[in-house]
């Protein structure tokens, strides 16, 4: 495993686009945190997002993992390009000729995306912990470390999404088309969900992108301001935002499908 | 003789097209093999199958007797096929380091390999800035990194200028002299003739010749003759036991293909004794090219 990871990281070290995109990713990562700390002034009215309770433990785990997951797309581009560039430079073929097996190739990419997901998860944990410690109204350890399952969900979500990107890149070979296909999948899924809403609503749980989205449901209706506003208006906005056990299993299942699918495609294809 | 590779009934079909058709041959240690054939004859497909990037339709092959795992075998092989493929942004040396990681080499001698191909001074330059000749040389250095049991080269001089071609050939000859087994695919007869000891000729995916380069060239050569009385000359030549076949290549000359030793001074004497005065006499050895064309021609009609 260490050998395969070191092979892939060695390749990435020299990839300019990978470096630039990773830097953008981490800049965006921290800027979301900084953004919430800014005080907005509208005349006499001062507003700071951080003081509205979004950084309260344990709510912060939910809010941050949800928000930060949106910018995973930047890392997805890194994953897609690190796979498709192997096709365009024809280094994939040379790797195999040099004695890297097809399984090792897929695993080296998979370990790398696992590393990305893990690093991102650890960063979310650290950033949220710091922000929470600064702004949270509750600082008891039992509250701080509750609801940590959002981090697990975040890790699974990223891993599944990156695996999908790897699979598409291996299948389609061209990075632009692979990313295009990803958006197409998003559109197709949205249409399918809407059109199946009444007939077979449970089916949408099994769609790849939807299953990843179900891992961390929107946090806004849990937000104090929204909650109090909704009670004031007499309507109940609160929805079921709990993640059920099978909602963890489906994206994990997809991850396996994508990894083995990648291997299957590579094995059956003549280069 | 130690077998490096044995190929049995290897076949690749693309739809209805038989790209490689029931290929069977062995490669023995210490020889330099040429895989010769026109473009599209299945050379690259054959190498692709042997190197695990093309899936055979049927048949099998075995690297290094008793070697079961192909990726383990590939780590003992040095191969470059078609264009040299490396990571463009990496330097020459870093590209070699990556190959060493893939091949699981403990401490490869980067300097010796890069010096062999005359690239040590440019080891820190990015691959994308290299000329085609340099890229090809780097590919050879990379293929030699593991001190391979066999070096496989696919059209190594393709697209190079005469100087580049010369450089590559000199390097290959140097490697061959060191005793490394080489399999060289090429459509250039001249190249195969200069470098190889053995030759496997492919045409439309079929093997039409497999043997020593020397044997492929006609062993006794042929005579090119002319006399004032051409008919008499032809009659006389046909009666000679050493002459296999007589044909008139050009309107001026008669070509007599030999099947036994017949030195020019002897034929001159025979002719003179029969009252035929030769105006032209030349003893030639057929080139590989003549034989290659003859082989491929006869197989098209077959």
| Closest Cβ–Cβ partner in B80, B94, B98 for A7 | B98
Q: Per the structure, how many domains does chain B have?
A: 2
Assess A39–B contact: CB distance below 8 Å, yes or no.
Answer: no
B301 within some domain: no
Range of the domain at B266: 222-286
Contact B133, B159 (CB under 8 A): no
Looking at the fold, whether B54 and B180 belong to one and the same domain comes out as yes
ipTM, two decimals: 0.86
In chain A, what's the furthest Cα-to-Cα distance?
69
Number of domains in chain A: 1
- B-chain residues within 8 Å CB-CB of A14? 87, 89-90, 94
Co-location of B110 and B237 in the same domain: no
Cβ pair B32, B176 in contact under 8 A:
yes
For residues B161 and B115, state if they share a domain: yes
Chain B residue numbers with beta carbons less than 8 Å from the beta carbon of A96 are 51-53, 74
Residue scoring higher pLDDT (A249 or A227) = A249
Highest mean pLDDT among A59-73, A137-151, A157-171, B270-284: A157-171
Instruction: Choose the final residue of a domain: B216, B232, B264.
Output: B216
Q: Return the SS3 of B63.
A: strand
Which of B101, B125, B151 to substitute to test the interface with A, most A CBs within 10 Å?
Answer: B101
* Shared-domain flag, residues B278 and B139: no
**Domain end point (choices B167, B182, B216):** B216
Residue B236, in any domain of the structure: yes
pTM: 0.85
Does B154 map to a domain? yes
Which of B53, B74, B94 has the CB atom closest to A93's CB atom?
A: B53
Q: Residue A38 sits in which domain range?
A: 2-268
What is the CATH number for B119? 3.40.50.300
Does residue B81 form part of some domain?
Answer: yes
Q: Is A98 on the interface with B (CB under 8 A)?
A: yes
Residue B189 lies in a domain: yes
- Interface A-B, measured as beta-carbon pairs within 8 A, has a size of 73
Residue A94 contacts B, CB cutoff 8 Å: yes
Whole-number Å distance between alpha carbons of B302 and B296: 10
Q: Are strands B77-80 and B150-154 parallel, antiparallel or unpaired?
A: parallel
Confidence of residue A141 (pLDDT cuts 50, 70, 90): confident
C-alpha distances (whole Å) from B166 to each of A118, A226, B118, B133 are 52, 78, 13, 10
Q: Are B86 and A98 a contacting pair at CB < 8 A?
A: no
Q: Which residue has the higher pLDDT, A204 or B82?
A: A204
Q: Answer yes or no: are the C-beta atoms of A66 and A219 closer than 8 Å.
A: yes
Strand pairing of B150-154 and B181-186? parallel
Cα–Cα distance for residue pair B68/A268, rounded to 1 Å: 20
Q: pLDDT 10s digit of each residue in chain B, 302 long? A: 788 999 999 999 999 999 999 999 999 999 999 999 888 889 999 999 999 999 999 999 999 987 678 899 999 999 988 789 999 999 999 999 999 999 999 999 999 999 999 999 999 999 999 999 999 999 999 999 999 999 999 998 888 899 989 999 999 999 988 889 999 998 888 888 888 999 999 988 999 888 888 777 656 778 888 888 888 888 888 888 888 888 776 667 888 888 888 888 888 888 888 888 888 888 877 677 777 777 777 665 54
Same domain, B150 and B18: yes
B55 lies in the same domain as B111: yes
- What is the phi/psi pair of residue B206, to 5°? -105, 145
Distance of CA B12 to the CA centre of its chain: 21
Residue B159 lies in a domain: yes
Q: B252 and B228 in contact (C-beta within 8 Å)?
A: no
Question: For the stretch A115-149, what's the b/e string if a residue is b when 16 or more beta carbons lie within 10 angstroms of its beta carbon?
Answer: ebbeebbeebbebbbebbeebbeeeeeeebeeeeb
Contact: B54, A90; criterion CB under 8 Å: no
- Collect all residues of chain A within an 8 Å Cβ-Cβ radius of residue B55: 267-268, 270
Asked if the structure places residue B297 within a domain, the reply is: no
Classify residue B163: in a domain, yes or no.
yes
- Does the CB of A262 have a partner CB in chain B at under 8 Å? no
Q: What is the DSSP string of A204-234?
A: GGGSHHHHHHTTS---GGGSHHHHHHHHHHT
């Amino acid at each position: 495993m260490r050998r395969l990871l070191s092979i892939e990281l060695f390749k990435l070290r020299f990839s300019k686009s990978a470096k630039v995109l990773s830097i953008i990713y981490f800049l965006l990562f921290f800027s979301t945190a900084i953004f919430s700390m800014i005080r907005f002034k509208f005349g006499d009215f001062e507003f700071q997002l951080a003081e509205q309770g979004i950084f309260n433990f344990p709510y912060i785990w939910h809010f941050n993992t949800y928000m930060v997951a949106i910018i995973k797309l930047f890392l997805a581009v890194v994953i897609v390009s690190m796979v498709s560039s192997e096709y365009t430079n024809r280094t994939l073929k040379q790797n195999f000729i040099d004695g890297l097996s097809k399984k090792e190739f897929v695993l080296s990419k998979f370990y790398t995306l696992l590393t990305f997901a893990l690093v991102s998860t650890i960063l979310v944990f650290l950033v949220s912990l710091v922000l929470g410690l600064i702004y949270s109204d509750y600082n008891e350890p039992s509250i701080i470390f509750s609801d940590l399952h959002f981090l697990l969900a975040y890790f699974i979500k990223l891993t599944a999404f990156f695996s999908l990107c790897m699979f598409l890149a291996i299948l389609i070979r061209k990075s632009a088309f692979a990313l295009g296909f990803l958006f197409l999948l998003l559109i197709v899924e949205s249409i399918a969900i809407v059109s199946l809403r009444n007939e077979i609503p449970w089916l949408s749980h099994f769609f790849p992108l939807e299953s990843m989205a179900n891992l961390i449901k929107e946090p806004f209706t849990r937000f104090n301001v929204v909650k109090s506003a909704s009670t004031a208006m007499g309507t109940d906005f609160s929805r079921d935002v709990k993640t059920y056990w099978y909602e963890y299993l489906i994206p994990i299942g997809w991850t396996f499908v994508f990894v083995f699918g990648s291997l299957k495609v590579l094995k059956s294809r003549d280069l | 003789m130690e077998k490096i590779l044995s190929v049995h009934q290897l076949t690749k079909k693309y739809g209805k097209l038989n790209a490689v058709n029931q290929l069977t041959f062995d490669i023995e240690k210490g020889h330099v093999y040429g895989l010769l054939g026109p473009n599209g004859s299945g050379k690259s497909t054959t190498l692709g199958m042997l190197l695990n990037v093309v899936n055979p339709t049927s048949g099998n092959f075995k690297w290094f007797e008793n070697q079961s795992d192909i990726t383990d075998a590939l780590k003992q092989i040095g191969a470059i096929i078609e264009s040299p493929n490396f990571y463009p942004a990496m330097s020459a040396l870093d590209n070699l380091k990556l190959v060493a990681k893939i091949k699981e080499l403990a401490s490869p001698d980067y300097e010796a390999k890069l010096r062999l191909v005359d690239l040590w001074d440019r080891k820190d330059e990015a691959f994308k800035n290299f000329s085609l000749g340099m890229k090809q040389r780097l590919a050879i250095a990379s293929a030699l990194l593991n001190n391979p049991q066999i070096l496989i080269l696919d059209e190594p001089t393709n697209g190079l200028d005469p100087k580049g071609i010369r450089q590559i050939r000199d390097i290959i000859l140097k490697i061959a002299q060191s005793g490394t087994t080489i399999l060289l695919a090429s459509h250039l007869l001249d190249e195969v003739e200069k470098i190889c000891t053995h030759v496997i000729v492919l045409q439309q995916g079929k093997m039409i010749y497999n043997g020593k380069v020397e044997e492929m060239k006609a062993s006794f050569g042929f005579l090119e003759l002319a006399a004032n009385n051409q008919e008499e000359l032809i009659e006389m030549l046909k009666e000679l036991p050493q002459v296999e076949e007589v044909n008139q290549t050009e309107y001026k000359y008669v070509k007599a293909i030999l099947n036994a030793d017949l030195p020019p001074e002897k034929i001159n004497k025979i002719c003179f004794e029969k009252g035929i005065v030769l105006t032209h006499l030349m003893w030639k050895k057929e080139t590989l090219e003549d034989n290659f064309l003859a082989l491929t021609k006869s197989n098209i009609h077959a």
